[in-house]
């Protein structure tokens, strides 16, 4: 099972390297990793997708929590959340019929054609992990020339009572 872990970390040099080293050094794989700033410029948010059972994830979250630069660790997997990934995929179009099929398929997934070349189209798609996987699976009969993926980002949907935390 894939688990989505959100970490709030201090925005300091070397934090990313320490987190990656911690996880990979224990023999766990990182499927995707996304890091970006938050509203507070001193804090960054890391979204890490790690495959494994509950024991693996418990170990990872426990080890992350012990790091000095880590402010908060949340396993989003069993919580109400939204997750998204952005992909750019360049697909070969051997003829006008395949180009039309690819464009139609993209529109079914609310994806956009962002570039058209003589022999290919480039599609931008945003969706949750399952939708992205479904889209890519349906593109398999076509020749995928290139693909870039942002990695998963996630945000909780639960209401937070900020006064209760004080």
Q: Which of 86, 82, 131 is nearest to 105 (CA)?
A: 131
Q: Tell me 164's DSSP state.
A: G
Q: Tell me, which fold does domain 82-153 have in CATH?
A: Alpha-Beta Plaits (3.30.70)
- Half-sphere exposure (CA, 13 Å, Cβ side) for 36? 10
User: What pLDDT does 131 receive?
Assistant: 96
Q: Fold identical between 2-79 and 82-153?
A: yes
> Could you name the CATH architecture of 2-79?
2-Layer Sandwich (3.30)
Q: Which of 141, 47, 28, 37 is nearest to 86 (CA)?
A: 47
Q: Could you state, in order of their start, the residue ranges of all structural domains in the chain?
A: 2-79, 82-153
User: What pLDDT does 151 receive?
Assistant: 93
Within the chain, strands assigned E span 2-10, 32-37, 43-51, 70-75, 81-92, 112-116, 120-127, 144-149, 153-156
133, two tokens = 């996987």
Neighbours of 62 (CB within 10 A): 10
Walk along the chain (166 residues) and give the pLDDT tens digit of each residue: 889 999 999 999 999 999 999 998 888 899 999 999 999 999 999 999 999 888 888 989 999 999 989 999 999 988 999 999 999 999 999 877 789 999 999 999 999 999 999 999 999 999 999 999 999 999 999 999 999 999 999 999 876 544 443 3
Which distant-in-sequence residues (6+ apart) come within 8 Å of 69 by Cβ? 9, 10, 12, 15, 18
Which distant-in-sequence residues (6+ apart) come within 8 Å of 43 by Cβ? 8, 9, 10, 11, 37, 71
Compute the Cα dihedral for 143, 124, 50, 37 and give only its sign. Answer: positive
| pTM for the structure as a whole | 0.82
User: What pLDDT does 146 receive?
Assistant: 97
């Amino acid at each position: 099972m894939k688990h989505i872990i959100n970490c709030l970390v201090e925005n300091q040099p070397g934090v990313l390297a320490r987190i990656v080293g911690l996880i990979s050094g224990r023999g766990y794989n990182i499927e995707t990793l996304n890091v970006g700033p938050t509203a507070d410029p001193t804090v960054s948010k890391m979204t890490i997708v790690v495959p494994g059972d509950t024991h693996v994830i418990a170990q990872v979250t426990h080890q992350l929590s012990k790091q000095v630069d880590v402010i908060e660790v949340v396993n989003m997997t069993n919580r109400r959340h939204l997750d998204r990934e952005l992909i750019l995929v360049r697909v070969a179009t051997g003829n006008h019929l395949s180009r039309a099929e690819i464009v139609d398929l993209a529109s079914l997934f609310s994806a956009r054609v962002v570039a058209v070349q003589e022999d290919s189209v480039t599609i931008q798609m945003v969706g949750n992990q399952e939708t992205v996987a479904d889209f890519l699976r349906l593109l398999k009969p076509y020749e995928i020339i290139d693909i870039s993926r942002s990695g998963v980002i996630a945000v909780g949907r639960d209401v937070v009572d900020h006064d209760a935390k004080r």
